[in-house]
Amino acid sequence: MQLNAIQIVLVVLVSFLAGMEGILDEFHFHQPVIACTLIGLVTGNLVPCLILGGSLQMIALGWANIGAAVAPDAALASVASAIILVLGGEGKAGVTSAIAIAVPLAVAGLLLTIIVRTITTGIVHIMDKAAEEGSFRKIELWQIIAICLQGVRIAIPAAMILAVGAGPVRGMLQAMPTWLTDGLAVGGGMVVAVGYAMVINMMASKEVWPFFAIGFVLATVTQLTLIALGTIGISLALIYLTLSKSGGSNNGGGGSNTGDPVGDIIDNY
């Protein structure tokens, strides 16, 4: 697929915002489901990019910066894989390959993250000197420059992929042998499964497991749409919140406060 000048500018802009949000973390443009969706929206490939973003989001839920360990770069993975998916022109059929490509891109993005953070270390010293001078204007200026560097970290690779063009990208995808594409499909599915497992491991508790079991069973009912599943989920959350408030104010009936409001209510009965 060939992109026009306006689409190219919008894709680079989305990439820039995704890079900045990787640090600001305010509007979550760096999250795969949002970054991929925005790129799909400006390029006219909303559905395939939305599917890609949703799949990558389940993987990225298990990525977190812990101590000195830096998580893989979700922003670069989302933006680059979405652009490759769009330029490849395969639509939904190319989602699997894009997911498999996204994982090594996320790891490669760590190098760019290290470079930018090394540069910003020097900027911090400049800001310290400006603080000694009492110049708030300089502090704000260098703060903006440091944040913009994070955006450039994603915008430049995105522009490079766009510069290569649709032809080479499509040729690269079509040149991949069947055994490799099948292997990437299996690997991509395993990565998604690992992402699910990591999220469940973090959320696992006696209060959460019943809701997980209910959602798992309801998801197997093919007649239920995503809107229906979302409505059921919101309803269960509202029921739980209502019972939680009731449990918090029902401690005078001899029941114990175990930290499980629903369990306390049941015990009181």
pLDDT of residue 40: 92
CA Rg, the chain, in Å? 23
% of the chain surpassing 90 pLDDT: 20
Residue of 181 and 84 predicted with greater confidence? 84
> pTM of the full predicted structure?
0.64
pLDDT of residue 58: 79
Neighbour tally for 48: CB within 10 Å: 22
**pLDDT band at residue 266, thresholds of 50, 70 and 90?**
low
| Mean pLDDT of all residues belonging to the chain | 79
**pLDDT band at residue 90, thresholds of 50, 70 and 90?**
confident
Give the lowest-confidence range in 51-55, 155-159, 222-226, 260-264.
Answer: 260-264
Return d(Cα 48, Cα 64) in angstroms, integer: 26
pLDDT of residue 178: 73
Asked whether residue 42 carries a pLDDT value surpassing 90, the answer given is yes
Residue of 227 and 105 predicted with greater confidence? 227
pLDDT of residue 243: 79
Q: What is the pLDDT of residues 122-153, one digit of tens each?
A: 999 999 999 998 888 999 999 999 999 999 99
Residue of 118 and 102 predicted with greater confidence? 118
Q: Which residues contact 188 (CB under 8 A, 6 or more apart)?
A: 55, 96, 99, 100, 103
**pLDDT band at residue 188, thresholds of 50, 70 and 90?**
low
pLDDT of residue 96: 79
Asked whether residue 265 carries a pLDDT value surpassing 90, the answer given is no
pLDDT of residue 9: 93
Residue of 111 and 153 predicted with greater confidence? 153
pLDDT of residue 12: 93
The encoded tokens of residue 34 equal 């949002």
Q: Which residues contact 41 (CB under 8 A, 6 or more apart)?
A: 49
